A and B are shown apart, each in its own frame.
Chain A
Amino acid sequence: METVTLTIIKQPELYLEADCISPDVFAETTGEIADLPVYVGREQHRLGDFFEISGRAGTTPAGTKIIVKGDLSRVKYIGMKMTAGEVVIDGNADMYVGAWMQGGKITVNGDVDAFAGTGMKGGELRINGNAGNYLGSAYRGDWRGMTGGRIVVTGDAGSDLGTFMNGGEIVVGGNVDVHVATHAEGGTIIIKGDAKSRLGGQMVEGEIYVFGDIDVMMPGFAYRKDVDLEVDGAKGRFALYEGDLGERHRKRKGQMIYGKLYQLVRP
């Protein structure tokens, strides 16, 4: 695997849109990586105007690794739409990290702002830090949110986690803000810390696991029974709630399928 290392040397006056920082684009470019376009507002610049670039890309996305270094908290779209290969972000990054990602792996050693993993279809997005709002959610208006892949956040995540989730898995090591798995029709969300309220609102199908507290349970979730499970390597007894009882649900084999919310029962 070939590696390209980008080190930010100049901060943009506003924000930098760098959707070119992706193994797909790097591997497919025939020219210099430094000449790839990036944008500040309406102005187009070269990637090389903001980053010191070393190493080289592979001939395929899968054969390309990108390491991005420095304070990237004003850089958007890193790893957007990538299908293969690897991106490592050493530092905080702004919005849309791994948005519409289809494959490959992104590791962020820092925090990310909102919309990371928007509309994700596959691959792995690991955030060793905190994530902003709308992690692994659908783009506005789309009923096809995250459909595959895996997102892991070691810290906390913001509100609107996994909206319209249809598949894949999101694991949050810390706490989450309001609105989890709203309108979900599939997928799995695991929250190791505490949750506030509005978990599984308008949920059709899918699974949510909460290890910590839930401030307010949705009225549309009803307790069914306790079950013993192994969740993300941890064994425990969970209280199973089903919902959202106010929402439509499918029947399978004569059985109504609900969204499932499991909360760890603490001894």
Chain B
Amino acid sequence: MTKTVTDVICPFCGTLCDDLEVVVSKDGKNLLEVYNACAIGAEKFLQSQAKDRHTRPRMRQEDGSWKEISYDEAIEYTAKMLADAKKPLMYGWSSTNCEAQAVGSEIGEYVGAVMDNTATVCHGTSLIAVQDIGIPSCTLGEVKNRADRILFWGCNPAHAHPRHMSRYSIFPRGFFTGKGHTGRKMIVVDPRVTDTARIADVHLQIEQGRDYELLDALRVAFKGEQLPDVVAGIPKEKIYEVAETLKSGRFAIIFFGMGVTQSLGKNHNIDAAIAVTRDLNEYTKAAIMPMRGHYNVTGSGQVWGWQFGFPFAVDLSRGFARYNPGETTSNDLLRRGEVDAVFVLGSDPGAHFPFSSVKKIYGLPSVAVEPHETPTTEVCKVHVPVAFVGIEVGGCAYRMDNVPIETRKVVDAPEGMMTDEEFLTHVLARVKEIKGV
């Protein structure tokens, strides 16, 4: 006998699909099937069932081998490492729930940590742009129900957010969009002919690294001013045409991804894209939205927002919160040697950071809290495996449009495993003891 859990939330990407159905064994210990999820999402659920999964913390020995340790020992090592450090980096927080993030912030306050999340190598630049110019945005349901001009800039949802187009942006029939995709014009800006670009009505195959210029050209075109003959590899006629297409819509939306956030100009590209959106609101209705990657990177920015006032790169070392990307961002801290311990939870900097930063992590006291074995766990001194959030424990997560959804527990974690929140709560208690508060 099996049972089916409905309305399950997928803890993979920022699309945060909440219509999955998961079949589990009657005793709730084994996860058998996953329906409605994309291939990546389904794989994440099924992977949690891997038999060779680590279920207890382990500590790297002098000779490089690993030795299993108890959770208590891992808590002690972590608390001591953080309490001893002058300026520890507490990084990650994007693949966990808001409950754990909140406990993490409290630890960060006591130890004077720098709190940073994966936005630092992803949409942090978007957040900087929002601070400079704002962001007219909306929920994904507004896109579904109203949008008739869809622009994907530097992102490839067909692969990175596989259900985005079918659930929200291109194919669904909403209240005012009864014709589905036939009523929408889809524009893709990408130097590559991606699978997303292939199904677009218009593909602007932009010259690599010239996004800022093309966005500026669109703004010039909106105002009817003269353009050079070619901008960013695109003939001006095409730019005027796309500008007109956007202006003539009833509701335009721009989705953008790491193709623009991490290429030349970074935050400035997004700043210009937001300016394009602002401009469009003088002619019609328009919104813009970052295609957030990790399923709860958005939540981490929200939790820190209300607790400290900043969405990432929050330096608590002086007893109050400061923020300045370029200084308080993880890679700058690591590159410059500004931190003396590294705690990672819910992310894989070993895979995503530049090699020079990863080498710095390897040379420092370090802990990785992570269900999987990852490149990060392999460079850290202690690896603390934990239950999968959204599979083995529930908790709040924020979708790419900031909508909070409570993820569900569908199966039990292997016996005796802690959750992120439990582990952090123990570390917090121990840190308070050490600090005498």
Contacts and interface: CB of A to CB of B under 8 A. Distances in A.
Does a CB–CB distance below 8 Å link A and B in the complex?
Answer: yes
Interface in A1-29: 13-15, 17
Nearest to B271: A202
Interface in B327-359: 327, 336-340
Interface string A115-148: 1000000000000000001100001110000000
Contacts of B231: 219
Given A179-B265, A219-B228, A202 B213 contact: no
B219 A42 contact: no
Nearest to A95: B327
Nearest to A244: B216
Interface string A190-215: 00000001100110000000000000
A246 B219 CA distance: 5
B318 A39 contact: yes
A12 to B, nearest CB: 9
A40 interface: yes
A115 B326 CA distance: 9
A240 B87 CA distance: 50
Interface in A133-179: 133-134, 139-141, 164, 178-179
B132 A40 contact: no
Contacts of A219: 213-214, 216-217, 220, 227-228, 231
A263 to B, nearest CB: 16
A117 B325 CA distance: 16
A41 B268 contact: no
Contacts of A80: none
Contacts of B362: none
B324 interface: yes
Contact of A42 (B111, B218, B264): B111
Contacts of B271: 182-183, 202
Contacts of B112: 41-42
Nearest to A39: B318
Contacts of A115: 324, 326-327
B338 A15 contact: yes
B326 A201 contact: no
Given A42-B111, A140-B323, A246 B338 contact: no
Contacts of A246: 216-220, 222-223, 225, 275, 279
Contact of A198 (B85, B225, B265, B326): B265
A14 B86 contact: yes
Interface in B107-136: 111-112, 128, 131-133
A114 B268 CA distance: 17
A254 to B, nearest CB: 18
A109 B220 CA distance: 43
A257 interface: no
A40 B339 CA distance: 10
Q: Quick one: which of A40, A182, A246 has the most chain B CB within 10 A?
A: A246
Contacts of A139: 324
Contact of B216 (A40, A42, A43, A220): A220
A139 B318 CA distance: 19
Nearest to B279: A246
Contacts of A201: 212, 216, 268, 272
A252 to B, nearest CB: 19
A40 B85 CA distance: 11
A216 B226 contact: no
A245 interface: yes
Given A246-B223, A247-B219, A43 B86 contact: yes
B317 interface: yes
Contacts of A247: 219, 275
Nearest to A218: B216
Given A95-B327, A178-B265, A140 B275 contact: no
Nearest to B130: A141
B327 A179 contact: no
Contacts of B87: 14, 40-42
A216 B132 contact: no
A265 interface: no
A43 B84 CA distance: 11
Contacts of A182: 268, 271
A196 B379 CA distance: 38
Contacts of A220: 216-217, 219-220, 225
Nearest to A143: B132
A164 B372 CA distance: 44
B178 interface: no
Contacts of A42: 86-87, 111-112, 317-319
A13 B212 contact: no
B180 to A, nearest CB: 33
Contacts of A53: none
Interface in A40-92: 40-43
A72 B223 CA distance: 49
Given A41-B86, A178-B264, A244-B216, A14 B339 contact: yes
A17 B318 contact: yes
Contacts of B324: 115, 139-140
A219 B214 CA distance: 8
A220 B325 CA distance: 28
A40 B317 CA distance: 9
20 contacts: A13-B86, A14-B338, A39-B318, A41-B86, A41-B112, A114-B327, A140-B325, A141-B132, A178-B264, A198-B212, A202-B216, A202-B275, A218-B216, A219-B228, A245-B219, A245-B225, A245-B226, A246-B216, A246-B219, A246-B225
Q: Which 9 pairs between the two chains have the least Cβ-Cβ distance?
A: A246-B219, A41-B86, A41-B87, A42-B112, A141-B131, A245-B225, A219-B217, A246-B220, A219-B231
Given A219-B217, A219-B227, A220-B219, 7 more contacts: A42-B317, A115-B327, A140-B324, A183-B133, A219-B213, A246-B216, A246-B218
